[in-house]
Amino acid sequence: MAKMWQGRFKKELDEKVNDFNSSISFDSRMYINDIQGSIVHVNMLGKQGIIDEKESKIIAKELANIHDDLLSGKLEIDPSAEDIHMFVEQVLTQRLGDLGKKLHTARSRNDQVALDLRMYLRTQIDEIIGLIKKLIAVLVKKAEENLTTVMPGYTHLQRAQPITFAHHLMAYVEMFKRDMVRMFNCFDLMNECPLGSGALATTTYPIDREYTAEYLGFNNAMLNSLDGVSDRDYCMELANAIAICMVHMSRLSEEVVLWCSWEFKFIELDDAYSTGSSIMPQKKNPDICELIRGKTGRTIGNLTTLLSMMKGLPLAYNKDMQEDKEAIFDSVDTIKLCLSTLAPMLDTMKVYKENMANAGKKGFINATDCADYLVKKGLPFRDAYKITGSLVAICIDRGETLDTLPIEEYKKLSDKFEKDIYEAISLEKCVNERNAIGGPAPQAVAKHIEKIKNTVLKEEDNED
Amino acid at 417: F
Q: Which residue of the set 72, 156, 278, 308 is catalytic?
A: 156
- Burial class (CB within 10 angstroms; exposed 0-12, middle 13-18, buried 19+) of 406: exposed
Decide: is 142 part of the binding site for ligand ARG (CB under 6 A).
no
Contact 456, 174 (CB under 8 A): no
Q: Smallest distance, Å, CB 199 to ligand ARG? A: 7
Question: Which residues does residue 162 pair with via DSSP β-bridges, in sequence order?
Answer: 152
Say how far apart CA 456 and CA 452 lie, in whole Å: 5
Look up 277 and say whether it is catalytic. Answer: yes
Q: Smallest distance, Å, CB 88 to ligand ARG? A: 12
Work out the end-to-end distance of the chain between its first and last CA atoms, rounded to an integer number of angstroms: 46
Complex with ligand ARG: residue 311 or 319, whichever CB lies closer? 319
Decide: is 87 part of the binding site for ligand ARG (CB under 6 A).
no
Q: What is the DSSP string of 261-300?
A: STTT-SEE--GGG-B--SS-TT--B-HHHHHHHHHHHHHH
- Candidate residues 104, 107, 109, 122; the one interacting with ligand ARG per rule CB under 6 A: 109
Q: Name residues contacting ligand ARG, limited to 27-66 (CB under 6 A).
A: 27
- Candidate residues 36, 90, 110, 299; the one interacting with ligand ARG per rule CB under 6 A: 110
Q: Which residue of the set 25, 80, 261, 277 is catalytic?
A: 277
Say how far apart CA 415 and CA 410 lie, in whole Å: 8
Span from 55-63, 107-115, 170-178, 200-208 in contact with ligand ARG (CB under 6 A): 107-115
HSE-CB at 463 with a 13 A cutoff on CA atoms is: 8
How many residues bind ligand ARG (CB under 6 A)? The answer is 10
Q: Smallest distance, Å, CB 255 to ligand ARG? A: 40
Complex with ligand ARG: residue 27 or 237, whichever CB lies closer? 27
Q: Name residues contacting ligand ARG, limited to 314-343 (CB under 6 A).
A: 317, 319, 321-322
216 phi and psi angles, rounded to 5 deg: -100, 10
Complex with ligand ARG: residue 110 or 212, whichever CB lies closer? 110
Contact 252, 288 (CB under 8 A): no
Complex with ligand ARG: residue 117 or 292, whichever CB lies closer? 117
For 341, other C-beta atoms within 10 Å of its C-beta total 16
Residue 324, sorted as left (phi over 0), alpha (psi -120 to 50) or beta, turns out to be alpha
Decide: is 369 part of the binding site for ligand ARG (CB under 6 A).
no
Q: Are strands 220-221 and 267-268 parallel, antiparallel or unpaired?
A: unpaired
Decide: is 161 part of the binding site for ligand ARG (CB under 6 A).
no
Span from 137-145, 156-164, 313-321, 414-422 in contact with ligand ARG (CB under 6 A): 313-321
For 261, other C-beta atoms within 10 Å of its C-beta total 11
Q: Smallest distance, Å, CB 235 to ligand ARG? A: 11
Q: What is the DSSP string of 98-162?
A: GGGGGTTTT--HHHHHHHHHHHHHHHHHHHHHHHHHHHHHHHHHHHHHTTT-EEEEEETTEEEEE
Complex with ligand ARG: residue 232 or 293, whichever CB lies closer? 232
Decide: is 273 part of the binding site for ligand ARG (CB under 6 A).
no
Distances 178 to 145, 172, 292, 351 between C-alpha atoms, Å:
24, 10, 19, 26
- Candidate residues 113, 221, 252, 288; the one interacting with ligand ARG per rule CB under 6 A: 113
Complex with ligand ARG: residue 109 or 167, whichever CB lies closer? 109
Decide: is 266 part of the binding site for ligand ARG (CB under 6 A).
no
HSE-CB at 232 with a 13 A cutoff on CA atoms is: 31
Q: Smallest distance, Å, CB 111 to ligand ARG? A: 9
- Candidate residues 34, 83, 179, 255; the one interacting with ligand ARG per rule CB under 6 A: 83
Q: Smallest distance, Å, CB 30 to ligand ARG? A: 9
Decide: is 368 part of the binding site for ligand ARG (CB under 6 A).
no
Q: Smallest distance, Å, CB 83 to ligand ARG? A: 4
296 phi and psi angles, rounded to 5 deg: -55, -35
Q: Smallest distance, Å, CB 24 to ligand ARG? A: 8
Look up 167 and say whether it is catalytic. Answer: no
Complex with ligand ARG: residue 194 or 440, whichever CB lies closer? 194
Contact 7, 179 (CB under 8 A): no
Q: Smallest distance, Å, CB 211 to ligand ARG? A: 23
Decide: is 67 part of the binding site for ligand ARG (CB under 6 A).
no
Complex with ligand ARG: residue 143 or 195, whichever CB lies closer? 195
Decide: is 23 part of the binding site for ligand ARG (CB under 6 A).
yes
Decide: is 197 part of the binding site for ligand ARG (CB under 6 A).
no
Give which of 135, 137, 132 is closest to 457, Cα–Cα: 137
* Residues designated as active site: 156, 277
Q: Interface residues with ligand ARG (CB under 6 A)?
A: 23, 27, 83, 109-110, 113, 317, 319, 321-322
